Amino acid sequence: MIFSTKKRSNKMNTVKSIFISLCFLGLSENSYAQNSGFIGKKNILSVDGRFFVPVFHNFGKNESKKYKANGEAFEPARNLLNSGINITVGRTLTNGMAFLIQGNYSRYKMYAPNYDYPNSFQINKSTFFQGQSMGIMPIIEFAGTGGILPIGISHQIGIGFYKNTMRNTDYLILAQSTSYSSSQTLDLFTTEDITNLDYLTIKSYSFMYKFNLRIPITRSLLLNVGMRYNINRTKPVPYQYDSATIDNHLIPQFNFRDMVAAAHLNNLVSLETGISFVF
């Protein structure tokens, strides 16, 4: 009987040893995942492309201003896609919250302005004008229910500040003077012909919400997919109704402000995709 008891005791000790070894192994694997996996990497660098689909820009009025240039001839065109790029750096503060700083650049198409004052040019037909914006946006990011940043579903909110200018490229314009002659002249304008680039600068700000998803590819590389909603506001500029302003600039600043505001209104929603590096 004594021999039998010792034998059972030895078996029990063996089972306990195996159990304790497995526990230590599990703790070791969990520690490795915490410290070297996504959860342990708090810094993030993202590069994303932005794609706007300005659906409402292709309907309604301004049919005479939906063209692209084919040499010195007009060719009908649609505003099907505007694009941009975001570069974002940030750090997770907790498993459920992160702080990000984003720099972005985007290009968009605009209609020629509708003038409502004398002694100016009346644009009767034109190609799309090309606008561009550059800015910076602080962002707060929250993990989705049960998620742990930086992977999985998240929600982002931010307020951005931007500078909007006209791209320096060629524009084909059929215009006539409203004061001297009713004849129309076809001209190929550059941005310098239209105005001084520093003069056509409009400041704006944007409120943003983004539904985002990051999918792990490797331990340090993530795939980003998201949908972004933007509410944009342009800073008001003086309505300078004087001959110097009108004569010296084919597009006065207050008209350019309206062009930018209309373009922003048509770019409310964007789809974004890119990659993130975590470290």
Task: Tell me: do 13 and 95 sit in the same domain.
Answer: no
CA 133 to chain centre: 10
Facing residues of 101 across strands?
89, 138
Contact status, residue 162 vs residue 203, Cβ threshold 8 Å: yes
Task: Tell me: do 90 and 219 sit in the same domain.
Answer: yes
Q: Which of 57, 56, 78 lies closest to 67 in space, CA to CA?
A: 78
Task: Tell me: do 109 and 58 sit in the same domain.
Answer: yes
Does the bond joining 150 to the residue before it have cis omega, within 30 degrees of 0? yes
Task: Tell me: do 125 and 178 sit in the same domain.
Answer: yes
Task: Tell me: do 25 and 80 sit in the same domain.
Answer: no
Task: Tell me: do 19 and 77 sit in the same domain.
Answer: no
Domain of 31 in residue numbering reads as 1-36
Query: pLDDT tens digits, the chain, 279 residues: what are they?
Result: 334 444 455 555 665 565 455 444 333 333 333 443 466 789 999 999 999 877 665 555 555 567 888 877 888 888 888 999 999 999 999 989 999 999 999 999 888 776 655 546 667 778 888 899 999 999 999 999 888 899 999 999 999 999 999 887 777 877 766 555 555 666 666 655 665 556 678 999 999 999 999 999 998 999 999 999 999 999 887 776 555 545 556 677 778 888 898 888 878 889 999 999 999
Contact partners, residue 33, CB within 8 Å, separation at least 6: 39, 40
Which tens digit of pLDDT belongs to each residue from 18-75? Answer: 545 544 433 333 333 344 346 678 999 999 999 987 766 555 555 556 788 887 788 8
Give the Å distances, CA to CA, from 134 to 86, 131, 144, 188: 10, 11, 29, 27
Residue written as tokens 């065109």? 77
Task: Tell me: do 31 and 133 sit in the same domain.
Answer: no
CA 173, CA 128: separation in Å to the nearest integer? 10
Task: Tell me: do 164 and 268 sit in the same domain.
Answer: yes
Task: Tell me: do 179 and 265 sit in the same domain.
Answer: yes
Q: Note the pTM of the prediction, 2 decimals.
A: 0.75
